[in-house]
Amino acid sequence: MSEVTKVGIVVDGRSIEVVEGASLVDVLRLAGIDVPTLCWTRDVDPPLGTCRVCAVRVDGREVAACTLAVRAGMQVECAAPDLAELQQGVVELLFAEGNHFCPACEKSGDCELQTMGYRMGMTHSRFPYRFESYSLDYRGQRLMLERNRCIHCKRCTDLFTDDEGHRVFCFLGKGSQTQVVMDLEREAKLSEHKCDEAVALCPVGAILRKGRGFDRPIGTRASDTPERMDR
């Protein structure tokens, strides 16, 4: 059994003892600090680090908390108002970049981006909406891609596999033209359970089940309850 080494770090002026090498996000949440995350999912190593919503300040520099492992002597700042502003700015940019019409989205109520916006008290994006139109892909047997909502978090491309361990999703293109695509042969062989897993892994409404709409009544959806949406 590997030995656990405890080290001291300082979080918002408070000294705490933590397990060396643990994820800073996990450590902060254990300490009762609610760091927002979108692309991060527990126990994924290395973390995706794509969304940057989890911005904190470590030793004077803004960093994505989910990408850092704790080390002795870290000085971590989470409570500064400018950090909350920075985190909300990232969420607003995501809303402005895609087409997120929440009332009409099948994932509404179970969308992590939407929940994040609610939690931050966001009413609109301060950034100009781009209103780009990205293509939809209906060719799957049971899954479809609504690319207007994709935030390029890489959860589906990097974390999702079929029952044989093959990846099903990948990105094509560069920069703002990057789009998620799926291997149609592998998609056709996915089990029902795996299809549901792909939909649940997507933090927004970009991967959907065909033929299914608003099947979770209001009151039972993730954002209808006060619990966090931790993964």
Among 9, 11, 24, 66, binds ligand FES (CB under 6 A): 66
State the number of binding residues for ligand FES (CB under 6 A): 12
Among 27, 28, 58, 64, binds ligand FES (CB under 6 A): 64
Q: How far is the CB of 25 from ligand FES (least distance, A)?
A: 7
Classified as helix, coil or strand, 217 is coil
Query: Taking contact as CB under 6 A, which single stretch among the options 7-15, 34-42, 126-134, 220-228 is the one that binds ligand FES?
Result: 34-42
State yes or no: residue 53 binds ligand FES (CB under 6 A). yes
Closest CB to ligand FES among 54 and 143?
54
Among 24, 38, 74, 207, binds ligand FES (CB under 6 A): 38
State yes or no: residue 156 binds ligand FES (CB under 6 A). no
Among positions 75-104, residues that touch ligand FES (CB under 6 A) are: none
Residue 230: which region, alpha, beta or left (left: phi > 0; alpha: psi -120 to 50)?
beta
Among 9, 26, 28, 37, binds ligand FES (CB under 6 A): 37
The CB-based long-range contact list for 76-79 (8 Å cut-off, 24+ gap) reads: 76/9, 76/10, 76/11, 76/12, 76/24, 76/28, 77/11, 77/12, 78/11, 78/12, 78/28, 78/33, 78/35, 79/12, 79/33
**Centroid of chain to Cα 14:** 28
Phi and psi angles of residue 157, each rounded to the nearest 5 degrees, phi first: -75, -35
Q: Across the chain, which distance is largest between two alpha carbons, in Å? A: 54
| Binding interface with ligand FES (CB under 6 A) | 37-40, 49-54, 64, 66
